[in-house]
Amino acid sequence: MNIAKNKIDIRSLSLSALQEHFTQMEEKSFRAKQVYEWLWKKSCFSFDEMSNISKELRAKLDENFVINNVKIHTSQVSADKTIKNSFILHDTHLIEGVLIPTPGRMTACVSSQVGCSLTCKFCATGYMERKRNLNADEIYDQVVLIDQQARENYGQPLSNIVYMGMGEPLLNYANMMKSVERITAEDGLNMAAKRITVSTAGIAKMIKKLGDDEVKFNLALSLHAANDEKRNTIMPINEQNSLKALAEALKYYYAKTKNPVTYEYIIFDGVNDGIQDAMELAKFCKHLPCKVNIIEYNPIAFASYINAGEDKVEAFAAYLTKQGINTHMRRSRGKDIDAACGQLAIKEKAKTVAV
């Protein structure tokens, strides 16, 4: 029997809720604030490490609460120094997260769901079943653990976070938002919101909600076609979230936040690589201030897509640039260990690990 099931997940509680529990335990409320700081500012995974808390209170905490922290299950290092991690959760589910070191920045790519409910045809995660949403603390833990890796392996802290791992962040909206709040809060990791990018396959109503919430972080839309017929084939989510609906949602989002949007565009050979496709994309870009990241495709076993030829990619990018669109070429990293964009998928079962 797992006794922890009868305990409260302490990081699911707000500070005020934790203070209420402390009052019920006949403990001073300022002690709750100390514990909260240990959990979120010092990223403490054990009550025993809370050195300014009495042994008696630590024992009481251990009796009533649990810290369901994420652990590194396995790690692989790419030839380009990218590190891919398999993380094990308290219920033995596995997810993946990646440390991407590049000159001038250390980026953590984190997951938001166990698997994914969307079925994007080019993405390995899209061929997995969605098991559950990640809790806010499980997203937070990925950032903490990847930051430790960056410091230990490359002598630098994390500078950027991208929600581009497994799952669709906007279908786990509340937990995604809480994780950002804890990562950016002064009594959390105190990272700048502008260093965080949340990527979506395109959920129109949730993009509008981002606008209503006036978020400070960056938004990226995984686009890959500015033609409904083509995008329906590549990304079935487009059938319920047409380009017209997305354009309206993005304009609403921009009006509320004044944040430019990034469009992610993979150029597949013979699919979306023509000048007509570039023209359609350029037209879509006119809706609001934006930039386009042209991303190298990383083939997966489940799909028959391949990268467009270099000449077509260059012609595509040149057309966008000529139209005055801020266009960047993004080379994939970690391909040799299946850590690159679209390649994350759990291929192993969890080994027996004490959790």
CA distance 271 to 43: 46
What are the φ/ψ torsions at residue 124 (nearest 5 degrees)? -60, -40
- Is the distance from CB of 316 to CB of 275 less than 8 angstroms? yes
223 is in an annotated binding site: yes
CA distance 245 to 94: 34
78 is in an annotated binding site: no
222 is in an annotated binding site: yes
CA distance 317 to 313: 6
120 is in an annotated binding site: yes
| Neighbour tally for 126: CB within 10 Å | 25
Residue 61 contacts by C-beta under 8 Å, 6 or more apart in sequence?
A: 10, 35, 47, 50, 53
- Is the distance from CB of 87 to CB of 71 less than 8 angstroms? yes
The residues annotated as belonging to the active site are 96, 341
Please identify which residue in the block is written with the tokens 């209420």.
20
Q: Do the bridges between strand 290-295 and strand 326-330 make them parallel or antiparallel, or are there none, so unpaired?
A: parallel
Token pair for 106: 């250390």
199 is in an annotated binding site: yes
224 is in an annotated binding site: yes
328 is in an annotated binding site: no
Radius of gyration of the chain (CA): 21
15 is in an annotated binding site: no
SS3 of residue 73 by DSSP = strand
Token pair for 124: 């390995």
Q: What is the DSSP string of 91-124?
A: TS-EEEEEEEEETTEEEEE--SEES-S---TT-G
- Is the distance from CB of 236 to CB of 119 less than 8 angstroms? yes
Which amino acids are annotated as binding site for S-adenosyl-L-methionine, given as ranges? 167-168, 199, 222-224, 298
Which amino acids are annotated as binding site, given as ranges? 116, 120, 123, 167-168, 199, 222-224, 298
Which amino acids are annotated as binding site for [4Fe-4S] cluster, given as ranges? 116, 120, 123
